[in-house]
A and B are shown apart, each in its own frame.
Chain A
């Protein structure tokens, strides 16, 4: 097991290096650069002297290889540099926006788990009944619905319904307050985006729960127990669910890393000052340092989630555990 762990952890390094190289190259292939965007964005005057000055300030006039090594070395020391757009440290830029994104991600996960596991289990137990069909359509709906469209429509519905009921339309607050300062306001801001992002998350988890349950329920020992009439149906089903949970949990873990994609568009719709929006801004501003840092962060989350999953499976597989 120890050897496997070491081998598996070491494999993380080329992935991270590859990702770093990829984002580095991609950013520099985009035409234009942050200095042009900064100095000339609203159609105002800018002169090449200022651009050259800006390049020198940001270290963009150094050879490309030097810039790359600087980036990698900084990453290893957990020094992500300063944003080329604002000059503030990347860490503070991300830290300022992390709370709302994290909150929505966690809320979405909670919603997803709360919906997915019971519904998925019921759907598997009552396979091919109308309950199953309804749940399956609901689940596929979650995969088919673009999250930003859901956000737009839900906001519209909230505004129109409150307008009709109370005479004055209500919308979630547009200014963020931390949850300990004003929990009600904070939650009212987070709930709609969380549901929007969580629907798809729930849908994917629901489907996995259902198919994992179906697989387990076909296992011989369950069928035997049933045939013998030994155990109560409820107990059998709960037993099946417990064993089905492993692939479900791993999927939830991996999908969490993919939440960033949903956050990017959702934060646009609801005007949330989160990491997703920062990502879009960073790419649009061609802020190399910030984009690189954000991408590496996302890649890290993905890599770590996968690592944990692989190690978990390895530990559960007696062939590897005891080698």
Chain B
């Protein structure tokens, strides 16, 4: 019962803007080349298992298949997963410990060799249990997996160590490309410099730092797809270039996000030649006080920091100039596990009565003897949305008498300062690809468990709640534990989530078939895109 309501709410919770394809879609036209831009420089290698940057994903996802994925025709749903290489989504057996997938027959790699369950198992073993010397970026998402085997050519069996709600969403990882076992046996590092998949497109040309091109795979197993004859992806790190390129139709779109001003400008100039899709984004900024630096070891000071911020008004104002919009706490706002508005307003820093909050903040600061506290906010030298959010935070804190200066540094020193604990308060970001809330909130765990939590605090109670939640298979009970987890973090004022990000993807009107999702890592294989030209 709760699940039905939750699913309905999640569907409503995401905003799909004007110009998105209507329910009565036209029949897709075949043909055409899609030119799009990748808003970054090329990643270090071509191996999806190893890399974490979306640049690699946007460049290589069209060449590969995955086992399961978010529904490409409804990617904004956080619960609708579909099969790509499998035949149907299995129900777990053995008290939720075993998942048995049947693999499609007749799938071929681009070089003609057949794809079997052995390839699926080999690829997943590379992700989950990488051999020494092989890096797997998301290894930690799969701690629950015990073994992956392929008893025959059409069956892959995942055995888990414990039952959990996080497994299936984790399995829909868009980076989990299925590689050829033969190539992996030859050389585990082969895929770092080469591309051989079974996806909707075959590699035509890769110019380092410049572009990557693909053409239709005629043997693709999803009937009718891909509609496009091919694609060209151009690396374009500068936003001004991307906006101008869309304006001048040098490219149709970029798949990450443009800021509100670019959208407004394009809409104003191009009218009906442009359409925009928008969505909440599974990314957000986090204010992280360093608990090891005085006076942020004092929970009163941290609470004051959070109380001073007017999330509701701030989000509204910032959404006009930055890629942020929704106020939320630790769970992605569109997920059924997220707090409702009423639940949210109970938390520190989310009260609708900002004057009361600020008065309380001042009182706490006075009590802690830190009335005229001044400190540096460590921020990343990226405009959207870091510098905007940082500037806004500095302003908010000044309203309770805190004097804050922003220390804006490039990405390298920013990460370095946080890793070494050489900062007072940092503004960082939290981005996940598939919406998998229970797994995603693992990043709030103390440093001893989650190495990238730079708050440097200890909290065994938190760890305990989390472990119970991870192993809880009943949805309603898991949600209750999530609220407990959330309240614990908030009550101890460990870290604060400020403003979830907001994706804005303007595209030329002739691009059809692509639907926006909460993550710029999802739905990038381009198989269902067609051009209305």
Taking the complex as a whole, does A directly touch B, i.e. does some CB pair lie under 8 Å apart?
yes
Interface residues of A in 267-315 (CB under 8 A from B): 268-271, 273, 277-278, 281, 284-286
Interface size of A by CB at 8 A reads: 51
Q: In the complex, which residues of chain B have a beta carbon less than 8 angstroms from the beta carbon of A38?
A: 44
Cβ of B510 to closest chain A Cβ, rounded Å: 14
Q: Indicate whether A37 sits within 8 Å of B412 (C-beta atoms), given known contacts A87-B45, A88-B208.
A: yes
Query: Are B232 and A46 in contact, CB atoms less than 8 angstroms apart?
Result: no
Query: Are A171 and B250 in contact, CB atoms less than 8 angstroms apart?
Result: yes
Query: Are A174 and B236 in contact, CB atoms less than 8 angstroms apart?
Result: yes
Question: 1/0 per position for A86-129, CB-CB distance to B under 8 A?
Answer: 11100011001100000000000000000000000000000000
Interface residues of B in 440-487 (CB under 8 A from A): 451-452
Query: Are A96 and B210 in contact, CB atoms less than 8 angstroms apart?
Result: yes
Cα A175 to Cα B452 in complex, Å, equals 38
Report the stretch among B67-75, B425-433, B496-504 that lies at the interface: B425-433
Given contacts A39-B52, A46-B52, 8 further A-B contacts (CB under 8 A): A41-B411, A42-B53, A86-B44, A96-B207, A169-B247, A173-B250, A175-B250, A271-B237
> Cβ of A18 < 8 Å from any Cβ of B?
no
Question: 1/0 per position for B4-45, CB-CB distance to A under 8 A?
Answer: 000000000000000000000000000000010100011011
Q: In the complex, which residues of chain B have a beta carbon less than 8 angstroms from the beta carbon of A87?
A: 44-45, 192-193
> Cβ of A32 < 8 Å from any Cβ of B?
yes
Report the stretch among B95-103, B132-140, B316-324, B328-336 that lies at the interface: B132-140
Q: In the complex, which residues of chain A have a beta carbon less than 8 angstroms from the beta carbon of B138?
A: 44-45
Cβ of B141 to closest chain A Cβ, rounded Å: 8
> Cβ of A63 < 8 Å from any Cβ of B?
no
Could you give 19 example pairs across A and B, Cβ below 8 Å?
A36-B412, A40-B52, A40-B415, A42-B52, A42-B431, A44-B52, A44-B137, A45-B137, A45-B452, A47-B451, A86-B208, A96-B209, A159-B247, A171-B244, A174-B234, A176-B207, A277-B209, A281-B41, A286-B412
Q: In the complex, which residues of chain B have a beta carbon less than 8 angstroms from the beta carbon of A60?
A: none
Cα A39 to Cα B415 in complex, Å, equals 11
> Cβ of A69 < 8 Å from any Cβ of B?
no
Query: Are B210 and A273 in contact, CB atoms less than 8 angstroms apart?
Result: yes
Query: Are B241 and A271 in contact, CB atoms less than 8 angstroms apart?
Result: yes
> Cβ of B367 < 8 Å from any Cβ of A?
no
Q: In the complex, which residues of chain B have a beta carbon less than 8 angstroms from the beta carbon of A46?
A: 52, 137, 452
Cα A170 to Cα B250 in complex, Å, equals 9
Of all A-B residue pairs in the complex, the 5 with the closest CB atoms, nearest first, are: A44-B52, A171-B248, A271-B241, A273-B210, A32-B412
> Cβ of A53 < 8 Å from any Cβ of B?
yes
Query: Are A175 and B416 in contact, CB atoms less than 8 angstroms apart?
Result: no
Query: Are B251 and A174 in contact, CB atoms less than 8 angstroms apart?
Result: yes
Q: In the complex, which residues of chain B have a beta carbon less than 8 angstroms from the beta carbon of A42?
A: 52-54, 431
Question: 1/0 per position for A21-46, CB-CB distance to B under 8 A?
Answer: 00000000011100011111111111
> Cβ of B80 < 8 Å from any Cβ of A?
no
Query: Are A36 and B236 in contact, CB atoms less than 8 angstroms apart?
Result: no
**Chain B residues proximal to chain A, CB less than 8 Å:** 35, 37, 41-42, 44-45, 52-54, 133, 135, 137-138, 140, 192-193, 207-211, 232, 234-238, 240-241, 244-245, 247-251, 269, 410-413, 415-416, 419, 428-431, 451-452
Cα A30 to Cα B411 in complex, Å, equals 13
Q: In the complex, which residues of chain A have a beta carbon less than 8 angstroms from the beta carbon of B416?
A: 31-32, 36
Q: In the complex, which residues of chain A have a beta carbon less than 8 angstroms from the beta carbon of B53?
A: 41-42
Cα A155 to Cα B428 in complex, Å, equals 34
B-side interface mostly: mixed
Cα A86 to Cα B248 in complex, Å, equals 32
Query: Are B133 and A53 in contact, CB atoms less than 8 angstroms apart?
Result: yes
Query: Are A174 and B430 in contact, CB atoms less than 8 angstroms apart?
Result: no
Cβ of A288 to closest chain B Cβ, rounded Å: 13
Cβ of B488 to closest chain A Cβ, rounded Å: 22
Which residue among A44, A96, A270, A285 has the maximum number of chain B CB atoms within 10 Å of its CB?
A: A44
Query: Are A43 and B431 in contact, CB atoms less than 8 angstroms apart?
Result: yes
Query: Are B133 and A41 in contact, CB atoms less than 8 angstroms apart?
Result: no
Cβ of A36 to closest chain B Cβ, rounded Å: 6
Cα A43 to Cα B450 in complex, Å, equals 13
Look across to chain B and name the residue whose beta carbon is closest to the beta carbon of A50: B135
Query: Are B250 and A268 in contact, CB atoms less than 8 angstroms apart?
Result: no
Query: Are A175 and B211 in contact, CB atoms less than 8 angstroms apart?
Result: yes
Q: In the complex, which residues of chain A have a beta carbon less than 8 angstroms from the beta carbon of B193?
A: 87-88
Cα A97 to Cα B193 in complex, Å, equals 18
Cβ of B501 to closest chain A Cβ, rounded Å: 12
Cα A273 to Cα B245 in complex, Å, equals 16
Q: Which of A40, A45, A168 makes the CB contact (< 8 A) with B248?
A: A168
Cβ of A151 to closest chain B Cβ, rounded Å: 10
Cβ of A200 to closest chain B Cβ, rounded Å: 21
Q: In the complex, which residues of chain B have a beta carbon less than 8 angstroms from the beta carbon of A170?
A: 248
Query: Are A174 and B415 in contact, CB atoms less than 8 angstroms apart?
Result: no
Cα A268 to Cα B239 in complex, Å, equals 11
Cα A175 to Cα B236 in complex, Å, equals 10
Q: In the complex, which residues of chain B have a beta carbon less than 8 angstroms from the beta carbon of A159?
A: 244, 247-248
Q: Which of A48, A53, A270 makes the CB contact (< 8 A) with B241?
A: A270
Q: In the complex, which residues of chain A have a beta carbon less than 8 angstroms from the beta carbon of B452?
A: 40, 43, 45-46
Which residue among B45, B192, B244, B430 has the maximum number of chain A CB atoms within 10 Å of its CB?
A: B244
